[in-house]
Amino acid sequence: MSKPIVATTSLAGCFGCHMSVLDIDDRILELFELVEFNKSPIDDIKKFTKHCDIGLIEGGCCNSENIHVLKEFREHCRILVSVGECAIMGGLPAMRNGIPIRECFEEAYLNGPTVVANEEGILPNDPELPMLLDRVYPCHEIVKIDYFLPGCPPRADLIWEALVALVTGDEMKLPYEVVKFD
Amino acid sequence: MSQFVRFTIDGTECMSTRGQYLVDAARDNGVYIPTLCNFPGVKPKGGCRICTVRVNGKLMTACTTPVAEGMSIENEIKDINELRKSIIELLFIEGNHFCPACEKSGNCELQALAYRFRMLVPRYPYQFPVRRVDASHPRIIKEQNRCILCKRCIRAITDETGRSIFAYRRRSARVEVVVDPKLGKQLTEELAQKAMDVCPVGSIIVKEKGFHVPIGERKYDTTPIGSDIENMQITKI
Amino acid sequence: MKTGVRKILEKYGKDKTRLMDILIDVQSEFGFIPREITVQIADDLGMSEVDVDQTISFYHFFSQKPTGKYHIFLNNSAVANMMGRKEVADTFTRELGIKFDEVTSDGLVGLFETSCIGMNDQEPAAIINNHIFTRLTPFRAKEIVRDIKEGKSIEDMFVADYGDGENRSDLIKSVVSNNIRKIGPILERNYKSGQAIEKITQMTPEQVIDEVKKSNMRGRGGAGFPTGLKWEFCRNTKGEKKYIFCNADEGEPGTFKDRVILTERPRLLFEGMVIAGYAVGATEGILYIRHEYKYLQAYLESILEKARESNYLGKNIQGKKGFNFDIRIQFGAGAYVCGEESALIESAEGKRGEPRDRPPFPVEKGYLDMPTVVNNVETLCSVVKVVLNGGDWYKSFGTTESTGTKLLSISGDCKFPGVYEVVWGFSINDILDMVGAHAEDVQAVQVGGPSGAIIAANEFNRILGYEDLATGGSLIIIGKNRDILTNIVLNFTEFFIEESCGSCSTCRIIPTLLHNKLVKILNARGVKQDIDDMIEWGRILKASRCGLGQTAANPILSSIKNFRQLYEEKIQKNKVFDSGFDLSAAVKESCKVTGRVPNI
């Protein structure tokens, strides 16, 4: 029997959730026995080449590119999982929600302490760039999401437990200690 | 009239002192009824509705209802717990609760209730309200993004003449808890700490304080809220 | 300014439980409540600024910034909209050059919205400087703006003749109409005030209560608690002082019968309060009236004064030793929730109108923690007739469960909107006939206002009464050409959002979520799940503290129940999930800021 196929991505996230996947330590060997990875930063496959069983989404949606990728995941994955606070509720990027877009741009490109040289005062507007959304959206407020794994990042044990359950079809056990929002 | 009354919670015979509020009577019988806006020693104000139980078939808040002889109370049942979980979720989507960046995380009662009720994601859409942070007072920060409008600070904190330091402002979804401009400036170190302690979430923060307990050792890291009551040794009268 | 405020504070004895009166006087003297006055009031009353502020900011008619020399509050009720409010609103904004919630730059005019003002039978209506303007048209709106710009007095702005009955009297002088269409035992013309008071001086309080109990009368506010029983509870509760409250805060959109009683039968009402006072052993009565009826103040005060002169109020009433009772009028300041009896008491104590937790009930611990009876206007009027004619006589009207008559406020798509006194047991069909609405032209009837139910034609045979359709008396007739979801359900839901006191988590949050779902469905983005969600979420409101919260989902729940096809028609049949997210709308602002063309 062929192995279940997993895809992962990081949208408006910090890759911390992906790091947490790696935090399952030596179980990672077991994981590769259990599943095959398709589109994912883990194997650096850029485009879907197969229909997948499970898609893990890190990060919320802050721009049009995120929306595009998320929709692509929804199309290609049977089960979609929001992994981490950003995917679930926007997370830290969503702290900009409520701040006017102009202020966000000006802080990032004109007035902020990390702005180095932008004498012409240009706000990036190349048509190739993703367009910023009016706010950061949780993934399930864009497409249907089937499971949620909270945490910042979700504990490695939670990710492991959930993945194994999804792959084997067993009931997902979520011990109190591993379900945390921080 | 006897000083004691008999009643049942989910069919179990209980006994307590007449006139006690249901939450307290239940606690004395080793039964946890979840609360949020309630605080020991502060006049109850059934605001959050999380302690809703069914008393003789009617929905009542356990923090405001005195126990009476023969009451039949439904607490740990499916629809009541589902209602409580709904309310917790509502409070999460109403404000901006960025747990990973909050000083109160791990010691927060709202978060602890969410853990207890196994909230993974609220079923309601996040509102992302635009709220402000009031850092104009010398000792405290009032972080409106995290305020759940439970009125605990309003009821618990007054100055020596009984004047309110915290109060509601406006009504409907626009309501907020504000700090008195004058009295907020005069807040003593002791009262500031009390205000922070009385706040169930991280909406009142004493300046330059926070993150002082390491992750893993915080109040609700390993034990669910309410387990102290449930694990209590009860001496039956 | 300081001395003005000091005078007001002294007028009320620097009593912080009279904060509402203090603020109403300040608002009327200065046009708004400036911060320095808030601070002065706080200091003088020994309160903190935020404590005074929490009362001010609760009420719609208190303002913390100038509202203009002329302030126009245009009613936004569903029926106002049915009767052409939008065109009137557009005329005001266009002619004044401001939006709602704004004041013209010269400080002359402020334009505001307000919830139902009790004029549903003569909409669109507005309150301008505490005076009522009814039956507005775009033409009238233009005239009003012109008159304002010319600096005319309100009096000079009335072009129509004054309304009927007492509306013409010197102390009212209003264009409001009573529209009394059917008179019964309560509204009958031959009533002579004082007879019932004279009669009870020959009775014991217990006998009065027994008579009321015998009548099986139930409270007319909507909840239907037996009046005699309420009085008996209060009588049997110990308290150094007891109070009778008359609840004239009728704020349920579509209700206006109390306004008509206050205009035409105030003596009847006051007599009922005196009887209640005698029965329960109360010495003070408080008539709590919604701010919208402020135009009746001078008239009502003069009637109270006359009653004092004739010793129907005051000490040893009609020679009965120890029968002391007086009445004062307490105005609200714009908050529907104050119609809830415990919120009304809180408000009368100078606080935010937040309902209290029960128990204890007002009869045990009410106004100033003293035993208090709160009765509806109509209830107190009915009591007088019970005393005069006996409980058995009263029982001969209506049905077993619902004795007596009921005043109905009927508005909407019918020929004769107005107040009707009918015996309980009338069917909706009877009512449609009575008001000149052809059943075949009627799509629905909203019974009991937004917190009630919307009834479809297949239920028009149902009858009014506690055994079937209980109602406080508001009936809105909705014609065939109306869009129920937009005209009615959306409007009512917005009303509940605005009028929540904000204290219960459920009532503060859920109505907004339901509103957003409804808008999503109206925008053709809904799916079946959205309907299911609304039903599920609406149920949670049942856990709210008061009737407002518990019924806030009724417009949606009851329309889903009785008009589900309207929702089904609007949802997407081929989709099970639609988040409602709109990418082009979401990127619009950022593209504008950066100066690029969206490429989607």
Cα–chain center distance at B40: 10
The structure tokens 């619902």 sit at C402
Determine whether the interchain pair A179/B131 forms a contact, defined as Cβ–Cβ distance below 8 Å. no
C39 with C102, same domain?
no
Lowest mean pLDDT among C87-91, C313-317, C397-401, C523-527: C397-401
Which pLDDT band, with edges at 50, 70 and 90, does B2 fall under?
Answer: confident
C98 with C229, same domain?
no
Determine whether the interchain pair A137/C581 forms a contact, defined as Cβ–Cβ distance below 8 Å. yes
CATH number, domain containing residue C355: 3.40.50.11540
Does the pLDDT value for residue B235 go beyond 70?
no
Rounded to whole angstroms, how far apart are CA atoms C37 and C59?
17
User: In chain C, pLDDT over 90 holds for what percent of residues?
Assistant: 94
Determine whether the interchain pair B100/A182 forms a contact, defined as Cβ–Cβ distance below 8 Å. yes
**Cβ atoms of residues B141 and B199 within 8 Å:** no
Mean pLDDT of all residues belonging to chain A: 95
C412 with C290, same domain?
no
DSSP B212: -
Shortest CB distance from C594 goes to which of A123, A133, A142? A123
Does the pLDDT value for residue C600 go beyond 60?
yes
Does the pLDDT value for residue C149 go beyond 90?
yes
Residue C313 included in any domain: yes
CATH number, domain containing residue C435: 3.10.20.600
pLDDT, position C507: 97
C286 with C358, same domain?
yes
Q: How many CB atoms lie within 10 A of CB A138?
A: 26
**Is B4-76 a domain of CATH 3.10.20.740?**
yes
Alpha-carbon gap: A91 to the closest alpha carbon of chain B (Å): 6
C83 with C50, same domain?
no
C433 with C544, same domain?
no
Q: Where in chain B are the domains?
A: 4-76, 85-206
**Cβ atoms of residues C573 and A104 within 8 Å:** no
Across B156-174, average pLDDT: 96
**Cβ atoms of residues C230 and C350 within 8 Å:** no
C387 with C533, same domain?
no
Rounded to whole angstroms, how far apart are CA atoms C526 and C533?
11
Q: Which residues of A touch C586 (CB under 8 A)?
A: 133-135, 137
Listed residue (A151, A169, A136) closest to A11, CA to CA: A136
Rounded to a whole number of angstroms, the CA Rg of chain C reads 25
Domain boundary among C449, C482, C515: C482
- Going along chain A from its start, the domains and CATH numbers come out as 5-97+133-178 (3.40.50.700)
Which pLDDT band, with edges at 50, 70 and 90, does C19 fall under?
Answer: very high
Which pLDDT band, with edges at 50, 70 and 90, does C47 fall under?
Answer: very high
Cα–chain center distance at C333: 11
pLDDT, position A179: 95
**Cβ atoms of residues A148 and A56 within 8 Å:** no
Which pLDDT band, with edges at 50, 70 and 90, does B178 fall under?
Answer: very high
Residue B65 sits at the chain A interface (C-beta within 8 Å): no
Which residues partner with C444 through β-bridges?
C456, C478
Rounded to a whole number of angstroms, the CA Rg of chain A reads 18
Q: Which residue of B has its CA nearest to C512?
A: B173
Give the global pTM.
0.96
pLDDT, position C222: 75
pLDDT, position B1: 64
pLDDT, position A1: 59
Rounded to whole angstroms, how far apart are CA atoms C43 and C49?
8
Q: How many CB atoms lie within 10 A of CB C430?
A: 15
Residue A103 sits at the chain B interface (C-beta within 8 Å): no
Residue C334 included in any domain: yes
In order of C47, C280, C474, the CA distances from C471 in angstroms are 41, 27, 7
Retrieve residue A176's tokens: 């109190």
Listed residue (C170, C200, C176, C195) closest to C120, CA to CA: C176
Rounded to whole angstroms, how far apart are CA atoms C449 and C443?
16
Residues 6+ apart with CB under 8 A from C91: C138, C141, C142, C145
Shortest CB distance from C587 goes to which of A64, A123, A126? A64
Mean pLDDT of all residues belonging to chain B: 95
pLDDT, position C505: 97
Q: How many CB atoms lie within 10 A of CB C150?
A: 9
Lowest mean pLDDT among B42-51, B204-213, C65-74: B204-213
Q: Which residues of C touch B125 (CB under 8 A)?
A: 513, 516
Which pLDDT band, with edges at 50, 70 and 90, does B229 fall under?
Answer: very high
**Window A:55-94, CB contacts with B under 8 Å:** 82, 85, 88-92, 94
- What backbone torsions phi and psi does residue C570 show, to the nearest 5 degrees? -95, -20
pLDDT digits (tens, 9 = 90+) for C229-271: 999 999 999 999 999 999 999 999 999 999 999 999 999 999 9
C222 with C358, same domain?
yes
Rounded to whole angstroms, how far apart are CA atoms C585 and C582?
5
Which pLDDT band, with edges at 50, 70 and 90, does C397 fall under?
Answer: very high
Rounded to whole angstroms, how far apart are CA atoms B223 and A176?
8
Residue C583 included in any domain: no
Across C435-460, average pLDDT: 95
Does the pLDDT value for residue C114 go beyond 60?
yes
**Cβ atoms of residues B166 and B153 within 8 Å:** yes
DSSP C2: H
Which pLDDT band, with edges at 50, 70 and 90, does C436 fall under?
Answer: very high
Listed residue (A93, A53, A91, A89) closest to A73, CA to CA: A53
Domain boundary among C369, C395, C421: C395
Determine whether the interchain pair A127/C579 forms a contact, defined as Cβ–Cβ distance below 8 Å. no
Of the residues A61, A62, A64, the best mutation for testing chain C's interface (the one with the most C CB atoms within 10 Å of its CB) is A64
Determine whether the interchain pair C599/A102 forms a contact, defined as Cβ–Cβ distance below 8 Å. no
Rounded to whole angstroms, how far apart are CA atoms C36 and C407?
46
Which residues partner with C288 through β-bridges?
C247, C330
User: Interface pTM (ipTM) of the complex?
Assistant: 0.96
Shortest CB distance from A125 goes to which of C579, C589, C595? C595
Q: Side by side, which strands form the sheet with C372-376?
A: C326-331, C284-289, C243-248, C372-376
Per DSSP, the three-state class of A60 is strand
**Cβ atoms of residues C317 and C311 within 8 Å:** yes
**Cβ atoms of residues B117 and B88 within 8 Å:** yes
Residue B222 sits at the chain A interface (C-beta within 8 Å): yes
Partners of chain A (3+ Cβ pairs below 8 A): B, C
Does the pLDDT value for residue B236 go beyond 70?
no
Q: Which residues of B touch C502 (CB under 8 A)?
A: 149, 168, 170-175
How many residues does this entry show for chain C?
600
- What backbone torsions phi and psi does residue C384 show, to the nearest 5 degrees? -60, -40
Beta strands C126-128 and C70-75, pairing class: antiparallel
pLDDT, position C462: 95
Q: Which residues of B touch A150 (CB under 8 A)?
A: 120-121
Alpha-carbon gap: A26 to the closest alpha carbon of chain C (Å): 39
Shortest CB distance from B224 goes to which of A88, A152, A176? A176
Q: H helices within B106-188, ranges in order?
A: 109-116, 152-156, 181-185
Across B222-229, average pLDDT: 96
Q: Which residue of C has its CA nearest to B85?
A: C540
Q: Which residue of C has its CA nearest to B44?
A: C357
Domain boundary among C125, C160, C195: C160
Rounded to whole angstroms, how far apart are CA atoms B119 and B186?
40
Across the A:B interface, residue pairs with CB atoms under 8 Å apart total 68
Retrieve residue A140's tokens: 């399930």
In order of C108, C181, C382, C383, the CA distances from C403 in angstroms are 52, 21, 11, 12
C213 with C155, same domain?
no
Of the residues A81, A88, A89, A149, the best mutation for testing chain B's interface (the one with the most B CB atoms within 10 Å of its CB) is A89
Determine whether the interchain pair B47/C516 forms a contact, defined as Cβ–Cβ distance below 8 Å. no
Per DSSP, the three-state class of A149 is strand
- What backbone torsions phi and psi does residue C395 show, to the nearest 5 degrees? -65, -20
Instruction: Write a three-state SS string for C42-106.
Output: HHHHCCCHHHHHHHHCCCCCCCCCCCCCEEEEEECCHHHHHCCHHHHHHHHHHHHCCCCCEECCC
Alpha-carbon gap: C455 to the closest alpha carbon of chain B (Å): 27
User: In chain C, pLDDT over 70 holds for what percent of residues?
Assistant: 100
Across C464-490, average pLDDT: 94
CATH number, domain containing residue C151: 3.40.30.10
Rounded to whole angstroms, how far apart are CA atoms C441 and C296?
37
Q: Which residue of A has its CA nearest to B132?
A: A98
Rounded to whole angstroms, how far apart are CA atoms C491 and C79?
10
pLDDT digits (tens, 9 = 90+) for A4-62: 999 999 999 999 999 999 999 999 999 999 999 999 999 999 999 999 999 999 999 99
> How many structural domains is chain C composed of?
5
- Give the range of the structural domain holding residue C524, as residue numbers without chain letter: 485-570
Retrieve residue C88's tokens: 């009137």
C233 with C327, same domain?
yes
Rounded to whole angstroms, how far apart are CA atoms C79 and C127?
16
Listed residue (C538, C391, C372) closest to C451, CA to CA: C538
C212 with C292, same domain?
yes
Residue B128 sits at the chain A interface (C-beta within 8 Å): yes
Across B105-132, average pLDDT: 97
Q: Where are the beta strands (DSSP E) in C146-197?
A: 180-182
C447 with C387, same domain?
no
Rounded to whole angstroms, how far apart are CA atoms C136 and C127?
11
Which pLDDT band, with edges at 50, 70 and 90, does C472 fall under?
Answer: confident
Rounded to whole angstroms, how far apart are CA atoms C456 and C564?
11
